[in-house]
Amino acid sequence: MNPLYLIAFKSILTKEITRFSRIWVQTIVPPAITMTLYFLIFGNLVGSRIGQMGGVSYMEFIAPGLIMMSVITNSFSNVASSFYSAKFQRNLEEIMVAPVPHYVMIAGYVGGGVTRGLIVGCIVTIVAMCFVDISIHHLGLVLLTALLTSMMFALAGLINAVFAKSYDDISIIPTFVLTPLTYLGGVFYSLSLLPDFWQGVSALNPVVYVINVFRYGFLGYSDMSVPLSLAIIIGFCAGLWFVAYYLISRGIGLRS
């Protein structure tokens, strides 16, 4: 990368990290509290009556999904709210008037989302370790999946923000799309429990692949083919990147 672009990338990334760090009570703490409650209620209280799932305790089974759920939500919302705010308050113009290539701008914002997603993921993992013994079957796969997933949803957040015309628009997608996809993505259950038809429907949900690969990284157990799931995640990342690049380079929602 051109050294000037690298400096520009670092500047955007630093700005993004500074932003969510400044409001850490809103960005970092709530997911830790929410996930603690999930572990306490679903894992400890309800989970103890469910018994085993996928060959492990219910608490162990849901831990990777809950970690990934926080990564997904935080990566998405960080970029969606930050990029939309910058657009709405017009401070995105600071970057738009500068010789920053579009891919650097996207990488900077997505980098911010990925960083927050991974930080929150680490915190939730630490919370999970208070409730259950976390064993890692394949560390590389865990890290790779976390990175790719945070990238994928950070890109989705960016696309959402490009189209958003009000703050309502950046909460509609998380509420009506992201949350259902996550809850129906196998965080709390094994897909093998579903009838064939719903297993087929679930195959259309990208979150299913994310959670399965991630769970495989921790437990060595997956409902679906790991290489296929990884390929689908990479495919989604690439697809979303091209969509984001197209939108930004055309100035859609940004330039009149």
Partner 1 sequence: MGDNANALVIEGLKKTYKGGVQAIKSLDLTVKQGDFFALLGPNGAGKSTTIGVISSLVQKSQGSVNVFGFDIDKQLEQAKLCIGLVPQEFNFNQFETVLQIVVNQAGYYGVTRQVALERAEQYLTQLDLWGKRNAQARQLSGGMKRRLMIARALMHRPKLLILDEPTAGVDIELRRSMWDFLKQINEQGVTIILTTHYLEEAEMLCRNIGIIDQGMLVECTTMKALLSKLNMETFILDLRNNVTQTPDLGNITCRLTDSHTLEVDVAKDHNINEVFTLLSAANIEVISMRNKSNRLEELFVELVEKAKEAK
Residues forming contacts to partner 1 in the complex (CB under 8 A) are 3-5, 7-8, 10-12, 14-15, 18-19, 22, 86, 89-91, 93-101, 251, 255-256
**For partner 1, the closer CB: 102 or 138:** 102
Q: Tell the smallest beta-carbon distance from residue 74 to partner 1 (Å).
A: 19
Instruction: Say if residue 85 is exposed, middle or buried (CB neighbours under 10 Å; 0-12, 13-18, 19+).
Output: middle
Q: Tell the smallest beta-carbon distance from residue 249 to partner 1 (Å).
A: 11
Contacts 24+ apart (CB under 8 A), 97-102: 98/8, 99/4, 99/8, 100/5, 100/8, 100/12, 101/5, 102/245, 102/248, 102/249
Report the alpha-carbon distance of residue 25 to residue 243 in Å, rounded. Answer: 32
| Residue pointed to by tokens 């989604």 | 236
**For partner 1, the closer CB: 24 or 176:** 24
Q: Tell the smallest beta-carbon distance from residue 240 to partner 1 (Å).
A: 24
**For partner 1, the closer CB: 49 or 90:** 90
Question: Which residue(s) pair with 52 in the sheet?
Answer: 57
Q: Tell the smallest beta-carbon distance from residue 17 to partner 1 (Å).
A: 12
Report the alpha-carbon distance of residue 221 to residue 226 in Å, rounded. Answer: 10
Report the alpha-carbon distance of residue 240 to residue 223 in Å, rounded. Answer: 25
In the chain, the N- to C-terminal Cα span, in Å, equals: 30
**For partner 1, the closer CB: 21 or 175:** 21
Q: Tell the smallest beta-carbon distance from residue 25 to partner 1 (Å).
A: 14
**For partner 1, the closer CB: 95 or 134:** 95
Tokens found for residue 195: 């009838």
Q: Tell the smallest beta-carbon distance from residue 84 to partner 1 (Å).
A: 13
